[in-house]
């Protein structure tokens, strides 16, 4: 018997429409696949909306709400989030579904700041600027894959949305407030001010809330980062990198190096060590660095734009006219000046008056960079090439292939995804060398942990869980130690440290996000013979307590599958989970079980079995372009 939701008539079982009033009767609940995921929820609410709309014309209210909804949706989606729902005058956005990115909290905060900017351009029904508040919260939620808001199905469960809404309620007007997890994940990227602790419904203790004021530089945590820890291991990789630089200088040749490794393995650090080596030499070298961005508009050649800006001294805040002037100051004083200018302006985000084909742009950019290297040895670093568009990769190949007679070293850093998406990148080139980073050994990781704890002796009860969980990944080792310190779980014993009584090594959210993001980048369908093998294992202890102490992490994997599903990505993930469960040593993750010391676990290692890394090879560059074709007088800014 199914009661009609409209007229209450009792219908036969199985009836699709009410026999009395033809209202559609609810379809039986679909079985939806569920996953536990760490998401960042953005909750945005208008201030004083009810009061201001009370006496207003409903059409005006509707127009205002539509403009506001459209603006916030566009800004959430531009940062890779999805709109979960609109509730009256509130907008709920989620970052981390369907695919997680390791920088979801950062994306959410950026979207929040952009929504506040957008509000200043909109009007409320009374004609004043729109006033709103944004709250952001990062935490675990149960995500229903394929849920449809139209069918009344909820995308998220858990108190993530509620908490975001409460955090929103303590944000200042036209302000973005975030909870502790979001703050911890994004503290290096934004300027924050701590607000009064807020009492949130359902939470006993007041929680810490922070206001995001502004983004620091839009890019370049890697560029500006100072590394405080001693550099351990990697002797051979560093020697190779230095050797290639020396060769570039000695033979005035172009070389392309790609440092490849999973997140946190030390790609940027290796490049920073090369910088240290070059910086200590008596001869001058030009070093320029740019980074590929994972999202946003007009980012295809962003990294190259950054390099050009660094070279010309253009600041992010410079208006176009100033940028143009600074560019003009480094252009060659020949009749090709305007030709260069027109082709370089687009890299600065300024429209050129004459358009050019890609090949011509590439030629102009290459010749400009050759001009820089002609002055003195030059290193150009392209960080995070796994986010690069095909067009930027094509330009790098063009540059490495055709630039000649100048000491120019091109260094890229990339995660293995680069080769999963572009298996042929740089393989054609004979002056290209990949450097594939392996995990640090147990002994090297232990040295790093000692340095992080500023001690030479670490008790095995403390060292072992960190070594196991870090799996040779220096970033993970750093994050675990940082969390132990931040959460006050360590106590000093003489000159050493030990875990406090009853404390367990928690699982940092940043590490969790990196693993989840990596899982989500795996392509949905793998040919059966490429099915991933048991090379990936969950971090030991990932089933233990959530850092908040209130929840447990999913067992075996950052994502836990509840309902069966037929999607290839899901099947692939399930098979990975199964194989990781099948590992005999997985049981040693249980407290009290001794770990198997022979093979260090590599929780971050996710292998699709597909990455094909190119073989290393070197060559002398073919001279194709006469040296006279290059601009001769260029100033190094
Ligand atoms: N060989 C190493 N010795 C000491 N610390 C390292 C080493 N490699 C990386 N690190 C540290 O680990 C963190 C992550 O390294 P990073 O180079 O940013 O990783 P990636 O660029 O591969 O994501 C940094 O804080 C870095 O200083
Ligand atoms: Mg890096």
List, for residues 475-530, the tens digit of each pLDDT value. Answer: 888 887 877 777 777 787 777 777 777 777 666 666 666 666 655 554 443 332 22
Structure tokens at 435: 């450097």
**Per mean pLDDT, which range of 105-109, 149-153, 440-444, 491-495 is the poorest?**
149-153
Taking residues 414-439, report their average pLDDT: 94
204 has pLDDT over 50:
yes
Taking residues 27-43, report their average pLDDT: 77
Q: Which residues pair with 192 in a beta bridge?
A: 212
Q: Which residues pair with 3 in a beta bridge?
A: 10
Taking residues 547-571, report their average pLDDT: 30
Cis before 105 (ω within 30): no
Which is nearest to 263 in space by CA: 400, 374, 21, 100? 100
Q: Which residue has the tokens 């709400």?
A: 65
Structure tokens at 219: 């890019």
Q: Is the dihedral of CA 261, 267, 271, 276 positive or negative?
A: negative
**Cβ pair 76, 93 in contact under 8 A:** yes
Higher pLDDT, 317 or 527: 317
CA–CA distance, 247 with 108 (Å, rounded to integer)? 44
Q: What residues does the ion ligand 2 have nearby, CB within 5 Å?
A: 222, 267-268
**Cβ pair 520, 608 in contact under 8 A:** no
- According to the model, what pLDDT value does residue 605 have? 43
Structure tokens at 566: 């037929």
Instruction: Tally the residues of the chain.
Output: 637
The number of the ligand 1 atom at minimal distance from the alpha carbon of 228 is 27
Read off the pLDDT of residues 587-636 as tens digits, 9 standing for 90 and up. 222 222 333 333 333 444 433 333 333 333 222 222 222 222 322 222 22
CA–CA distance, 326 with 167 (Å, rounded to integer)? 44
Higher pLDDT, 419 or 538: 419
Render 414-479 in DSSP notation, one character per residue: E-THHHHH-TTTTTT-SSEEEEEPPPPPHHHHHHHHHHHTT-S---HHHHHHHHHHHTT-HHHHHH
Taking CA atoms only, the protein residue closest to ligand 1 atom 15 is 266
105 has pLDDT over 50:
yes
pLDDT level of residue 349 (50, 70, 90 thresholds): confident
* Cβ contacts of 343 within 8 Å, gap of 6 or more: 352, 356, 360, 361, 364, 365
Average pLDDT, the chain: 75
Higher pLDDT, 383 or 355: 383
Higher pLDDT, 229 or 260: 260
Taking CA atoms only, the protein residue closest to ligand 1 atom 26 is 269
Higher pLDDT, 4 or 95: 95
174 has pLDDT over 70:
yes
* 3-class state of residue 196 by DSSP: coil
The number of the ligand 1 atom at minimal distance from the alpha carbon of 271 is 17
Highest mean pLDDT among 24-28, 86-90, 585-589: 86-90
Best substitution site from 261, 453, 475 to test ligand 1's pocket, by max atoms within 8 Å of Cβ?
Answer: 475
For residue 42, CA distances in Å to 96, 244, 393, 559 come to 11, 47, 34, 21
Residue 416 CB less than 6 A away from ligand 1: no
Task: Give phi and psi for 224, each to the nearest 5.
Answer: -100, -5
* Cβ contacts of 462 within 8 Å, gap of 6 or more: 490, 497, 498, 499
Higher pLDDT, 577 or 89: 89
Spell out the alpha helix ranges (H) of 201-301: 221-224, 235-250, 267-279
CA–CA distance, 417 with 423 (Å, rounded to integer)? 9
For residue 470, CA distances in Å to 282, 442, 466, 603 come to 38, 10, 6, 7
Render 201-230 in DSSP notation, one character per residue: TT-SS-B-EEEEEEESSSS-HHHHPPP-SP
**Cβ pair 40, 136 in contact under 8 A:** yes
Task: Give phi and psi for 206, each to the nearest 5.
Answer: -60, 145
Which is nearest to 575 in space by CA: 607, 531, 514, 632? 531
* pLDDT > 90 in the chain, percent: 35
- Tell me which CATH code domain 235-438+576-636 carries: 3.40.50.300
Please, what CATH class does the domain formed by 33-216 belong to? alpha beta
Structure tokens at 537: 């294992």
Taking residues 368-380, report their average pLDDT: 93
Taking CA atoms only, the protein residue closest to ligand 1 atom 23 is 264
Which is nearest to 254 in space by CA: 355, 375, 379? 379
| C-alpha of 160 from chain center | 21
Domain ranges of the chain: 1-30, 33-216, 235-438+576-636
The number of the ligand 1 atom at minimal distance from the alpha carbon of 415 is 22
- According to the model, what pLDDT value does residue 515 have? 64
550 has pLDDT over 60:
no
Q: Which numbered ligand comes closest to the C-alpha of 102?
A: 1
CA–CA distance, 143 with 566 (Å, rounded to integer)? 17
For residue 278, CA distances in Å to 249, 405, 413, 472, 523 come to 11, 20, 18, 27, 39
HSE-CB at 577 with a 13 A cutoff on CA atoms is 17
Do the first three CATH levels of 33-216 and 235-438+576-636 match, i.e. the same topology?
A: no
CA–CA distance, 261 with 267 (Å, rounded to integer)? 7
* 3-class state of residue 606 by DSSP: coil
pLDDT level of residue 126 (50, 70, 90 thresholds): confident
**Helix crossing, 442-452 with 474-486: angle to 10°?**
30
Residue 518 CB less than 6 A away from ligand 1: no
Residue 267 CB less than 6 A away from ligand 1: yes
- According to the model, what pLDDT value does residue 268 have? 92
- According to the model, what pLDDT value does residue 549 have? 31
């Amino acid at each position: 018997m199914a009661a009609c939701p409209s007229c209450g008539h009792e219908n036969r079982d199985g009836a699709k429409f009410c026999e009395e009033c033809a209202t559609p009767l609810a379809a039986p609940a679909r079985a939806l696949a569920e996953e536990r995921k760490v998401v960042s929820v953005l909750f945005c609410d208008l201030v004083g909306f009810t009061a201001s709309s009370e006496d207003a014309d409903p059409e005006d209210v509707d127009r205002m709400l539509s403009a506001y909804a459209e603006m916030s949706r566009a800004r959430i989606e531009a940062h890779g989030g999805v709109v979960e729902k609109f509730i009256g005058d509130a907008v709920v956005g989620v970052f981390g579904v369907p695919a997680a990115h390791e920088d979801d909290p950062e994306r959410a905060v950026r979207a929040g700041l952009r929504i506040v900017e957008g509000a200043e351009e909109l009007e409320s029904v009374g004609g004043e600027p729109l006033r709103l508040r944004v709250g952001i919260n990062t935490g675990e939620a149960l995500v229903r894959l394929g849920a449809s808001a139209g069918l009344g199905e909820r995308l998220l469960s858990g108190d993530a949305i509620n908490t975001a809404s409460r955090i929103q309620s303590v944000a200042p007007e036209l302000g973005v407030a975030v909870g502790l997890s979001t703050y911890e994940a994004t503290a290096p990227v934004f300027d924050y001010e701590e607000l009064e602790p807020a009492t949130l419904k359902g939470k006993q203790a007041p929680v810490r809330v922070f206001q995001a004021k502004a983004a620091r530089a839009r890019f370049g945590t890697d560029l500006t980062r100072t590394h405080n820890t001693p550099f351990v291991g990697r002797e051979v990789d560093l020697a190779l990198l230095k050797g290639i630089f020396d060769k570039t200088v000695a033979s005035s040749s172009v070389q392309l190096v790609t440092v490849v490794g999973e997140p946190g393995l030390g790609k940027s650090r290796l490049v920073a060590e090369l910088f240290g080596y070059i910086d200590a030499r008596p001869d001058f070298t030009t070093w320029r660095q740019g980074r590929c961005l994972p999202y946003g508009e007009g980012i295809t050649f962003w990294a190259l734009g950054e390099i050009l800006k660094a070279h010309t001294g253009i600041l992010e805040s410079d208006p176009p006219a100033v940028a143009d002037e600074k560019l003009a100051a480094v252009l060659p004083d020949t009749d090709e000046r305007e030709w260069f200018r027109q082709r370089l302006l687009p890299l600065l985000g300024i429209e050129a008056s004459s358009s050019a084909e890609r090949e011509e742009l590439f030629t102009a950019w290459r010749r400009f960079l050759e001009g820089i290297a002609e002055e003195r040895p030059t290193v150009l670093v392209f960080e995070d090439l796994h986010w690069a568009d095909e067009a930027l990769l094509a330009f790098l190949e063009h540059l490495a292939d055709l630039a000649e007679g100048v000491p120019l070293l091109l260094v890229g850093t990339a995660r293995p995804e680069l080769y999963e998406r572009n298996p042929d990148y740089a393989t054609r080139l004979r002056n290209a060398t990949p450097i594939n980073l392996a995990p640090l050994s147990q002994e090297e990781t232990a040295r790093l942990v000692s340095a992080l704890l500023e001690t030479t002796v670490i008790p095995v009860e403390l060292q072992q869980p960190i070594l196991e969980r870090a799996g040779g990944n220096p970033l993970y080792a750093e994050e675990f130690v940082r969390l132990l310190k931040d959460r006050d779980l360590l106590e000093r014993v003489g000159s050493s440290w030990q875990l406090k009584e009853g404390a367990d090594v928690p699982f940092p959210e940043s590490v969790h996000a990196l693993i989840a993001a990596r899982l989500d980048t795996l392509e949905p369908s793998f040919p059966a013979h490429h099915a991933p093998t048991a090379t990936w294992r969950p971090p030991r202890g990932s089933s233990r307590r959530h850092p908040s102490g209130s929840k447990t992490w999913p067992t075996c994997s950052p994502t836990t599958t509840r309902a069966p599903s037929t999607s290839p990505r899901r099947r692939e993930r399930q098979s990975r989970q199964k194989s990781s469960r099948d590992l005999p040593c997985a049981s040693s993750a249980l407290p009290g079980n001794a770990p198997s010391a022979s093979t260090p676990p590599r929780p971050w290692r996710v292998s699709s079995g597909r990455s094909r890394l190119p073989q290393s090879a070197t060559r002398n560059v073919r001279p194709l372009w006469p040296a006279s074709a290059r601009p001769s007088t260029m100033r190094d800014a």
